[in-house]
Amino acid sequence: MIHSTFAATAATAAAPSSLLGRWSWHPNPIFSHRRFHLPISRPLVLPCVALEISVQSGGAKGETEKESKLWGGRFEEKVNELVERFTESISFEAEELWMHDIRGSKAHANMLAAQGLMTEGDRDKIIEGLGVIKKKIESGKFVWRKDREDVHMNIEAALTDMIGEPAKKLHTARSRNDQVVTDLRLWCRDAVDRILTRIKQLQVQLVKLALRNDGLIIPGYTHLQRAQPVLLQHLLLSYVEQLERDAGRLTNCKERLNFSPLGACALAGTGLPIDRFMTSQELGFTAPLRNSIDAVSDRDFILELLAANSITAVHLSRLGEEWVLWASEEFGFAIPSDSVSTGSSIMPQKKNPDPMELVRGKSARVVGDLMSLLILCKGLPSAYNRDLQEDKEPLFDSVKTITQMLEVTSVFAANITFNHERIHTSLPAGYLDATTLADYLVKKGMPFRTSHEVVGRAVALCVAKKCQLSDLTLDDLCGINSIFEKDVYDFLGVDNAVNKFTSYGSTGSAEVQKQLQFWCSKLEITSSE
């Protein structure tokens, strides 16, 4: 490693000498290095001052000489070090993309040899060299150099240092434009599989949680107002259904992204006799992309993945909101275990469901990653533009965040119980059986709009008498409408109300059992688990 220093003195010369006596140093979001703050009452940030930037140059070119760029043939000047720092991407992509880059290069070398564009001997040296680089990266001995810009140039330059001339043939009929998007498609394909695994794990935990709470009736809410009684199992399975749609979107996304851009080169393809179908097959793609311009410029597959992640994040956020509310004293329905709770630095009594609060909060981050990429892509001209380097950080962040959200929600679901007694004592409030009473009148032949009005009058009577619908006498009910008979009490109370739900997919006990059986079978869960 060597440290390069340069001075930008124009602004320094223009700055009053009295302001340059003492400095404090802070991270600079532009340079990723340092910012000067002056010791005065209001901070003054100068546009450019004398500064020192440390650059890890490394390599075999000596202590002071910088390595020539692999693309530097037509350039007479060295790249400005600030520009070099601003344009590098190795700092955030190396860990994510190196494995896919090596895999793509091996497939490309095999194809070039098969097409007579390099000898088998050169191909073997390249494959062996890439294997050595892979082991160095895995062991942490590989040196990533920012002056080599990105993961592709780092690996290719290291390969050239290792085996010499044969490595220079590897980039035949390939541009970084098609190389990077090949890496990204391979990475996204693997990312989808990882997320799908986490989704299934959460579905399993939610179904198990439902099985542990058989028959528990809770208030169902609309507008956050009490509406109708539902089984807790029914509510939990509603989130399982949402996650299943999330999984479906990701599966469909994977189908559309699984096409190979390799061989599209910069944008126009190549006149060399390559076989794009061979590399596509070796890398496990469905087929090569038909249009080379589209192949290098398309980022729809990332947008689609981030959109799918965003919808999943919204689902998790809503679940998080529900459990946070239910863990409050005002509800008291849910009791997270100590292992998934945190305390307060000042209030000794506090027990906070922080993981689900952060799930709710991090959903904004995942949605923000999608917004960043949408705005990035909206005004780009056709084919590849360097702006697209900015697609990686939102992509990596979205996948990392949604994966963590799914994992911690699974752990929370495995460590939450429900306060049956508190829930049961809360059920009488809210006239949850009112709609079931309206259905009773419909079964007696009354039009629903009329039954709605009649039950509304019954509720008003309960409010006046400070009682529940089931507490009204038959005389009370017949005083509202003579249609009521003794069998009305079979429809009143939350237990009777739940048992009267019979439509497909409803909260009735029989229907919920069918839903549970379906999910236990699909997710391979036994009732004893």
- The catalytic site residues sit at 223, 344
416 strand-pairing partners: 336
What are the Cα distances from residue 260, in Å, to 182, 281, 292? 6, 9, 10
Report the distance separating Cα 113 and Cα 463, nearest Å.
Answer: 85
For residue 429, which of 240, 226, 202 has the smallest C-alpha distance? 226
Report the Cα 377 to chain-centroid distance in Å.
19
| Sequence-distant (≥ 6) Cβ neighbours of residue 494 within 8 angstroms | 217, 229, 427, 428, 432, 433
DSSP string, 384-406: --GGGGGGHHHHHHHHHHHHHHH
124 strand-pairing partners: none
For residue 183, which of 365, 369, 388, 375 has the smallest C-alpha distance? 388
Q: Is the distance from CB of 313 to CB of 249 less than 8 angstroms?
A: no
Angle between helices 300-326 and 354-377 (to 10 degrees): 160
Report the distance separating Cα 432 and Cα 218, nearest Å.
Answer: 10
For residue 318, which of 409, 227, 233, 403 has the smallest C-alpha distance? 409
Report the distance separating Cα 242 and Cα 118, nearest Å.
Answer: 51
| Sequence-distant (≥ 6) Cβ neighbours of residue 107 within 8 angstroms | 262, 278, 279, 282, 283
Q: Position of tokens 């959460």?
A: 202
Report the distance separating Cα 256 and Cα 259, nearest Å.
Answer: 7
Q: Is the distance from CB of 389 to CB of 375 less than 8 angstroms?
A: no
Q: Which two tokens stand for residue 138?
A: 């895995």
Report the distance separating Cα 429 and Cα 424, nearest Å.
Answer: 10
What are the Cα distances from residue 254, in Å, to 192, 323, 441? 7, 32, 51
DSSP 176: H
DSSP 383: S
Q: Report the largest interatomic distance among the alpha carbons of the chain, rounded to a whole angstrom.
A: 102
Residue 31: CB atoms within 10 Å? 13
Helix and strand numbers (H, E) in the chain are 18, 6
Report the Cα 239 to chain-centroid distance in Å.
17
Q: Which spans in 327-447 are helix H?
A: 354-377, 392-414, 420-426, 434-443
Residue 366 corresponds to which amino acid?
A: V
For residue 104, which of 170, 19, 183 has the smallest C-alpha distance? 183
